[in-house]
Amino acid sequence: MPVFDFNDVSDERNHAECTYTTFRSDAGEATPEQPILLLDNHSRQWKHHSIGVFTNPVKRSSFEFEEEDGKFSADILEIDARFVSLLRWLGENHINVRLSGKNREDGYAVYKIREIAFGGGTKLSAEDGFLQFMMERLFASHAPEEIEEDEDYEEVGDEMKLTSLQSITDFMTCAGNTMPENIRLWARRNLAVARSHEVSPEERRHAQRALSIMMNVQWKNNYFEAIDPEEARRILDEELYGMERVKQRIIETIIQINRTHTLPAYGLLLVGPAGTGKSQIAYAVARILKLPWTTLDMSSINDPEQLTGSSRIYSNAKPGIIMEAFSAAGESNLVFIINELDKAASGKGNGNPADVLLTLLDNLGFTDNYMECMVPTVGVYPIATANDKSQISAPLMSRFAVIDIPDYTKEEKKIIFSRFALPKVLKRMSLKKEECIVTEEGLEAVMDIFAHTSGIRDLEQAAEHIAANALYQIEVNHVASVSFDGTMVRELLAQ
């Protein structure tokens, strides 16, 4: 199918020739077998590394090689559909590039394109590495259903970071099809504001900052690859001891994702006493999903504006925590770990921070006051933790699948202390297990001391205290090893 729209060519006597077809590919990188494009090589075999320029598409879809014996042109035969706009931009701006390719029977397969300066030319991109940044973003995207050539085709992105108006404009032109449609429209409006001399410098600064923030996010679709349940179970066993019912509930969620290839409609709410590993479960789930994660600590959020951002009418305006989390993650698919959800309703400012979470949890899109644009949240998976679910409002509760995390039994705590907590501390302190021994009587003493505390944090601190004391005795008293019986444990851990 034709890639370039030549309807705007003023000189009707110049009929541009489209010499190629496009092909669809979702490959994450190019190789000689799966190239970016194919050039004609029937009349001349091209070198592995060749320099030149793509010709202006209003003339002919070809590449002009700069050879030792002169300039030679080769028609473009095929192009990966994702790179159509990029090659158009390279041609229209006459940007000097170096191709890496391989001669095949059907043409010269180009699998690398790098921007260079030769013949007195200069790089036109805003920053070094800009072309590679755009190509990496395009490789990460899916092939478009069809190529629409349109002058509105100015889009968004950032990770490098794209901060200058030139780099923002170039990226919008070349890789805008990686962005959702509503964000493309928003970006064009904000770019117009950032360029305008009819608005205040403050407005231009805010518009440019908002563009840079939005462009830092790789906006992905809501399709999720299948997850290996056995690998998921291995991660859970590695992070958690026992809790079979909790692990089964998480594996059920994984199997659901594998069947639908989308995230469940509801996030997880982990409710249980302090120190029972709720946050650890949340991190394990993020690891299983292979998603970046961010945390929202609701106990420290006193005003909804901390989440939604402030309006640009203020000189010190800035985006909210949620938008900053998208920017920090660098992509739209991520795990939001909402700590202490039961503290969300205790805001001390104007309004209730808990109400802001409802729009994030509904997966209908979230609007930040500073960005002034609705961002898609279909790839956001919320995992919340709480100690007391009676403090959580009914609307918030209805957005989660609730998992009650029970406290560990005495026998489970003994196993966690002896098999996990103490060995981990000894390894960190470079102590051998025979240098620090806790007898059965000593283990019972530890359990008795912390019999009325929930979770395992106190046990981990006890292991740290015991190991540190053993290390002290070995280094100062020059003993070979220390064996902690009940009496020694009680004396050491007595408050």
Same domain? For 332 and 449 the reply is no
Q: Using the 3D structure, point to which of 172, 193, 217 is the last residue of a domain.
A: 217
Domain assignment of residue 87, yes or no: yes
Domain assignment of residue 91, yes or no: yes
Same domain? For 176 and 296 the reply is no
Query: Comparing C-alpha atoms, which of 132, 218, 113, 209 is closest to residue 170?
Result: 132
Whether the pLDDT of residue 226 is over 80: the answer is yes
Same domain? For 376 and 311 the reply is yes
Query: Comparing C-alpha atoms, which of 436, 434, 438 is closest to residue 468?
Result: 436
**Helix (H) / strand (E) containing 357:** helix 353-361
Q: Break the chain down into helix, strand, coil percent, rounded to 5.
A: 40, 20, 40
**How far is 481 from 363, CA to CA, in rounded Å?**
57
Tokens 């979230």 -> residue: 366
pTM of the full structure: 0.65
What the block records as the tokens of 205 is 């600064």
Summarised one tens digit per residue, pLDDT across range 238-250 is: 877 778 888 888 8
Instruction: Look up residue 26 and give its amino acid.
Output: D
Same domain? For 130 and 192 the reply is no
Same domain? For 141 and 156 the reply is no
Candidate from 114-123, 189-198, 433-442, 462-471 with smallest mean pLDDT: 114-123
Summarised one tens digit per residue, pLDDT across range 110-169 is: 999 988 876 545 555 544 577 888 888 898 888 776 545 444 434 333 334 566 788 888
Domain assignment of residue 97, yes or no: yes
Mean pLDDT for all residues in the chain: 83
**How far is 42 from 343, CA to CA, in rounded Å?**
71
Per the structure, the complete domain to which residue 182 belongs is given by: 151-217
Same domain? For 238 and 295 the reply is yes
Same domain? For 61 and 130 the reply is yes
Same domain? For 76 and 136 the reply is yes
Same domain? For 391 and 474 the reply is no
Same domain? For 168 and 144 the reply is no
Domain assignment of residue 449, yes or no: yes
Question: What is the count of structural domains for the chain?
Answer: 4
Domain assignment of residue 223, yes or no: no
Summarised one tens digit per residue, pLDDT across range 67-114 is: 888 889 999 999 999 998 888 888 888 888 899 999 999 999 999 998
Q: What is the DSSP string of 414-425?
A: HHIIIIIIHHHH
Q: Using the 3D structure, point to which of 335, 369, 404 is the last residue of a domain.
A: 404
DSSP state for residue 458 in the 8-state scheme: H
Domain assignment of residue 222, yes or no: no
